[in-house]
Amino acid sequence: MFVEQTTEQPSGGKRTSKKRELDSHKAAETVLVRRYARCQNCNEDYDVQFNLEHGEGEGCVWHDGDLVLIPEAFPDDDEVDHGSIDPYTDWRREEFPDGLEWTCCEGDASAEGCRKTRHDCDSSTDDESSSKEEEEEK
């Protein structure tokens, strides 16, 4: 990094300008860190300063398997038979949680997560939310 420095001659002569290099060690750099982030596993916001293992505080509880529909639970439903349903967003998840199953633990759709870990920051979500926050501040 360079800084332009202008000096005037003592005899009233011309002003001269010269560039000098700043000492990189002297230049202070401030790094901002977000206080809250969104977990990519449980989709919850958490305080990054207190991201602890479950049992030591508010940790992350989630499923590492897939949520699948149990076709036998919906025998007369053509949508289920043709496999065109997204079990994560479908209305059946709320209405009939026992008709869906997690592949990791065989729990139904309403089962609490079977993995207990620290929260895992989803950087793409953070970038989006920080952009939204910056726009709101303006």
What is the predicted pLDDT for the residue at 21? 56
Structure tokens at 62: 């989630």
Question: Do residues 63 and 113 lie in contact, with contact meaning Cβ atoms separated by under 8 Å?
Answer: yes
pTM of the model: 0.57
Residue in 107, 113, 105, 109 with CA at minimum distance from that of residue 87: 109
What are the sequence ranges of the domains in the chain?
53-137
Residues in the chain: 138
Question: Do residues 93 and 100 lie in contact, with contact meaning Cβ atoms separated by under 8 Å?
Answer: yes
pLDDT tens track for 60-83: 889 999 999 998 998 888 888 777
